[in-house]
Structure 1
Amino acid sequence: MQALFGFNPGVTILVEFDHIDKRPTKPSTPGDRRASEALPIFEGSEAVSGTATVLVAPGKKVDHLGIKAELIGQIELYYDRGNHYEFSSVVRELDTAGALVGNRQYRFDFNLAEKPYESYSGLNVRLRYFVRVTISTRGKNVTKEMDFVVQNIQQEPEALDSLKMEVGIEDCLHIEFEYDKSAYHLQDVVIGKIYFLLVRIKIKHMEMAIIRRETAGTGSNQYNESETIIKYEVMDGAPAKGECVPLRVFLKPYALTPTYRGTNKFTVKYFLNLVLVDEEDRRYFKQQEVTLWRKYVA
């Protein structure tokens, strides 16, 4: 994979990661300026290496003050577009001051760069990683950025007890529902059961949803957004007292991320939301937070 950026009449920078044809990729996020690109995926512990090529037009001479490559981990809050928060930055000097008369190729290797968080693009926040190559000049610098995706395989959470909850309206409705565990990996299956112990209202249907809740910023600049990732009908028609409705949801087909709690700029949580709708379209619901974690890369 290559990226191209022209500057002035005489200079172009190419950036290419090593072994790109053997690496899994992920489409960049809709709305991103690189939305048509497939970005390479790296695990957090992997070295990021590649080649930066400076192309100089025939007959041109480019005087520079040095050439460097940086690996940057950055959080962008959409309400605060003027400020980007860098949580990781490693610099490699590729060349000292001099002049470029012809094409030059430079190697970069970030083998110890910290990549503690997964890449993320949400409603109000984006966590991105990229390599930036800069040619410093006495005028405007020449730069090129190449994004990549980080996915971190995580250890299975210790507490995987089943979730049991009750919801009820006095003398009208009493339901118990159970999910098989409280944490799921991104290719897992949610298995549950809903027991109807008392039903004295006319239920029309029941639906289940997985909701992602994103909190970005702090204080007066805190933004809370929820979006429904999965929604489908569990039951159509009125249940009878004593009835048990099974529940099974496959997570793999959906655009889910791990739960984010480690950054000081944003959090991402997931909830299982069970909704009952009666014949007058009144809605009764119960939410339960669950942890999502990554067992496999992409």
Structure 2
Amino acid sequence: MASLFSFSAPMDIDVRLNDEHERRTVDVKLDGSAKESLPVYLDGESIQGTVVIQARNGKKLQHDGIKVELVGSIEMFFDRGNRYEFLSLAQELGTPGGELRQSETLPFEFKDVEMMYESYSGVNVKLRYFLRVTIMRRMAEVTKEREIWVHSFRLPPDVNNAIKMEVGIEDCLHIEFEYNKSKYHLKDVIVGKIYFLLVRIKIKHMELSIIRRETTGNAPNQYNESETITKFEIMDGAPVRGETIPIRLFLGGFELTPTFRDVNKKFSARYYLNLVLVDEENRRYFKQQEITFFRIPEN
């Protein structure tokens, strides 16, 4: 994120992370089509680095203290005036009455930080972690932020039952469909089958989609946004009774996040498999099933 101070600030601030060039990065969407590459940290890791402060024009600068903070916050896009901070750690890098001469390099470390929520950038909400450097001065504070991205791994669930459901219209259509499990890691494969037990309407095609449903806020000020992550056709043409349609969907190529449920009582992001049948009169029949995504370490 860009610095929050104006161009008239008498110093430049740079936040450098010790091993940022060796770390995995993720590209995070900004406003418009631009993206920002952020280093990835894991829950429980230490965050080490240096703050480099360069005084402009070689002038000596008095200050009333320097600190660096590690902040975790949730920002609602419909409530931009408020930022809900669930993590706030601080270290003093300079005491009041100090003086900056040309260039200063100040090390910092936040050790074994519990970052209990994973970073998330959605339609109406963003959960972010950032380092914030503040230089207190008599006239005005000077601040600079540096964002990081956090992943949180989870063990595979002990119980992961298959999904079996029926959908139909009395005396017209009867379908059974099943998926091999209900919980998937982000590089997993969804495997399933669809059985046509009764077909008395003319089906034109069938499609399967993954939908992310984001819920933010609390009633009565609650917002729901649904986003189609991917959609593909699994059948073209009319099926016959007794026909079976296989499903195999590789998840690795999509921009998925883990499932989030009631994060800090501020938002949720849930995923659904949406099966849609379209008949020759363009009537749509659908069945939706919630599934769970989780993150595991990558090889």
- When the two structures are superposed, what TM-score results if normalisation uses the length of structure 1? 0.95
After the TM superposition, which parts of structure 1 deviate over 3 Å for at least 4 consecutive aligned residues? 2-7
Who is 1:182 aligned against? 182
Cα 1:7–1:70 change in 2 (3 A) is farther
Superposition deviation, residue 261 in structure 1: 1.2
Q: Structure 1 vs Structure 2: percent identity of aligned residues?
A: 54
* In structure 2, C-alpha distance between the alignment counterparts of 1:250 and 1:282, rounded to whole Å: 29
* In structure 2, C-alpha distance between the alignment counterparts of 1:6 and 1:54, rounded to whole Å: 15
Superposition deviation, residue 250 in structure 1: 0.6
Superposition deviation, residue 20 in structure 1: 1.1
Who is 1:16 aligned against? 16
1:48 aligned to 2:47?
Answer: yes
Q: Which amino acid aligns with 1:277?
A: V
Residue pairs, 1:273-292, within 5 angstroms: 273-292=274-293
Q: Which amino acid aligns with 1:94?
A: L
Output one character per residue of 1:241-287: Cα deviation in whole Å (capped at 9) or x when no partner.
00000001010100000000151100110000000000000000000
Superposition deviation, residue 32 in structure 1: 7.4
Output one character per residue of 1:33-92: Cα deviation in whole Å (capped at 9) or x when no partner.
9x4431000011111111100101244121111000000000000110000000001001
Residue pairs, 1:1-298, within 5 angstroms: 7-8=7-8, 10-31=10-31, 35-97=34-96, 98-263=98-263, 264-296=265-297
Q: Which amino acid aligns with 1:86?
A: E
CA contact (8 A) 1:6 1:12 kept: no
* In structure 1, C-alpha distance between the alignment counterparts of 2:271 and 2:115, rounded to whole Å: 23
Superposition deviation, residue 23 in structure 1: 0.2
Residue aligned with 1:181, SS? coil
Unaligned runs of 5+ in 1: none
Output one character per residue of 1:109-152: Cα deviation in whole Å (capped at 9) or x when no partner.
11133210110011110000000011011111111100010001
* In structure 2, C-alpha distance between the alignment counterparts of 1:126 and 1:297, rounded to whole Å: 24
Output one character per residue of 1:158-191: Cα deviation in whole Å (capped at 9) or x when no partner.
2211000000100000000000000000000000
RMSD of aligned alpha carbons? 1.8
Residue aligned with 2:230, SS? strand
Aligned length: 296
* In structure 2, C-alpha distance between the alignment counterparts of 1:64 and 1:52, rounded to whole Å: 15
- When the two structures are superposed, what TM-score results if normalisation uses the length of structure 2? 0.95
Superposition deviation, residue 3 in structure 1: 7.5
CA contact (8 A) 1:89 1:113 kept: no
